[in-house]
Amino acid sequence: MDIEELNGIVDEFATYLRNEIGRAPATQRGYSKAVRQFLASARARPASHFLEPHWKLAHIDKRSVEAYLEHYKRERGWKRATVAHHLTALRGFFGFLLHKGYVERNPLKGLRLAGRARGTALPEGEEAAVHLMFERSAGNLADARLLLLLELIYGAGLRPAQVYGLLGLSLGPEPNTVRIHHGGGRSEVFLSAAGVARVDDYLARRAAALERSEIRGSGDESPTGGDAVDAQPRGDAPLWFDLRVGTGSRLRPKSPAALGRQVRQAMEAVGLDGGAAALRRLAARHFRVRGADVRSLQTFLGAKRLGELDRYRTVSYREVAEAFHRAHPRDKEP
């Protein structure tokens, strides 16, 4: 197909996601990008997708998509979450094509990732992006710190300012609990098993760094031209810091602004808008959509009043329509 014609259809798909489905802007961009990438690959290498040189959208079948996903999984090392995101985007695209009459069937209906248990849904849209964000490995102290920041904000529902200002962190007495130390005292929060493992990993890396490092102060420069080093004990070291290796390893405390920038960059890398506050809202929405009651959501977010929860729930046109068809008396058969 002509590239301009394909681009026009993808643009129409993006408009459909926004106006008729009510998808978030980040999801619209992520889906459109995934679809464009697939179509560009099919145009560049049609034979590898089991397509004729002058193929049409109706010629694309399940084999074409399976070959595409397998190629990028093998050649580019795509993680499962990345494959799931692209598959979800393509399934939605062909559903749109069927709805608008561009094709007569959706070739991807029923296509699932190999190895997933029957009945387990694939992550969609923003959830797939979140899964991808947590796929990175903790190769050093900075990576472990970033993953733990993301866990505390998305996994535990803590406020960004609360996370950035934590005075200490330790494993809780109960399974899947973490004890946090902040200006108001101590409290316990729930985390997944993976989240608790990230806490343990970061604390171990932090302890190792403290053993061999000094704490860089914010005072005047020393007579030798380097930064002055505070004589504070290791137990008073900040929770969040970078390890600067040079002439004697030193620790540089991380400011809330620097931590916020790193969280925002990690989100933007997977197509999510906003910063830490947006990630917390996303966690609350996913928590609620998957069936949590409003009281549990209130506890998860640490909200004092139920009215504070209104901002964490956005309802799309599709959700309202489904609720109407399911529950409204006037939509029942006479």
In a domain, 58, yes or no: yes
CA distances from 164 to 145, 173, 260, 284, 289 (A): 11, 23, 8, 19, 27
pLDDT digits (tens, 9 = 90+) for 218-248: 433 333 334 333 333 345 688 898 876 554 5
Q: What is residue 37's predicted lDDT score, i.e. its pLDDT?
A: 92
Instruction: Look up the pTM and report it.
Output: 0.54
Residue 102: pLDDT over 80: yes
Q: What is residue 24's predicted lDDT score, i.e. its pLDDT?
A: 75
In a domain, 184, yes or no: yes
Q: Give the end of a domain, one of 87, 102, 133.
A: 133
Residue 28 near residue 14, CB atoms below 8 Å: yes
- Please give the average per-residue pLDDT across 195-223, as a whole number: 71
Residue 169 β-bridge partners = 180
In a domain, 180, yes or no: yes
Residue 244 β-bridge partners = 250
Q: What is residue 62's predicted lDDT score, i.e. its pLDDT?
A: 85
Does residue 102 sit in the same domain as residue 245? no
In a domain, 328, yes or no: no
Does residue 189 sit in the same domain as residue 253? yes
In a domain, 119, yes or no: yes
Residue 208: pLDDT over 70: yes
Does residue 219 sit in the same domain as residue 290? yes
Instruction: Look up the CATH number of the domain holding residue 118.
Output: 1.10.150.130
CA terminus-to-terminus distance, the chain: 49
Residue 291: pLDDT over 70: no
Does 302 or 195 have the greater pLDDT score? Answer: 195
Does residue 147 sit in the same domain as residue 251? yes
Mean confidence (pLDDT) of the chain: 76
Does residue 148 sit in the same domain as residue 96? no
Residue 205 near residue 229, CB atoms below 8 Å: no
pLDDT bucket at 10, cuts 50 / 70 / 90: very high
Q: Give the end of a domain, one of 103, 133, 163.
A: 133
In a domain, 320, yes or no: no
Burial (CB count within 10 angstroms: exposed 0-12, middle 13-18, buried 19+), residue 182? middle
Does residue 185 sit in the same domain as residue 251? yes
pLDDT digits (tens, 9 = 90+) for 164-188: 988 888 888 887 888 888 776 667 8
Does residue 165 sit in the same domain as residue 207? yes
Does residue 107 sit in the same domain as residue 159? no
Does residue 235 sit in the same domain as residue 157? yes
What are the φ and ψ backbone dihedral angles of 182, each rounded to 5 degrees? -135, 180
Q: What is residue 142's predicted lDDT score, i.e. its pLDDT?
A: 87
Does residue 155 sit in the same domain as residue 300? yes
What percentage of the chain's residues is helix, strand, coil (to nearest 5)? 55, 10, 35
Residue 115: pLDDT over 70: no
Q: Hunting for tokens 């909200």 — which residue is that?
A: 303
What are the φ and ψ backbone dihedral angles of 45, each rounded to 5 degrees? -135, 65
- Structural domains of the chain, count: 2
41-45, 53-57, 144-148, 214-218: least confidently modelled range: 214-218
Instruction: Look up the CATH number of the domain holding residue 266.
Output: 1.10.443.10
Q: How far apart are CA 225 and CA 18, in angstroms?
A: 57
Does residue 150 sit in the same domain as residue 251? yes
Q: Helix, strand, or coil here: 40?
A: helix
- Please give the average per-residue pLDDT across 286-315, as a whole number: 63
Q: Give the end of a domain, one of 93, 116, 133.
A: 133
According to DSSP, the β-strands at 250-253 and 241-244 are antiparallel
Residue 212: pLDDT over 80: no
In a domain, 317, yes or no: no
Q: What is residue 324's predicted lDDT score, i.e. its pLDDT?
A: 66
Residue 7 near residue 15, CB atoms below 8 Å: no
Does residue 231 sit in the same domain as residue 269? yes
Residue 40 near residue 334, CB atoms below 8 Å: no
Residue 116: pLDDT over 80: no
Q: Hunting for tokens 């809202």 — which residue is that?
A: 281
Q: Tell me the residue range of the domain where 202 lies.
A: 141-312
pLDDT digits (tens, 9 = 90+) for 301-316: 776 655 555 555 544 5
Q: What is residue 119's predicted lDDT score, i.e. its pLDDT?
A: 38
Residue 117: pLDDT over 60: no
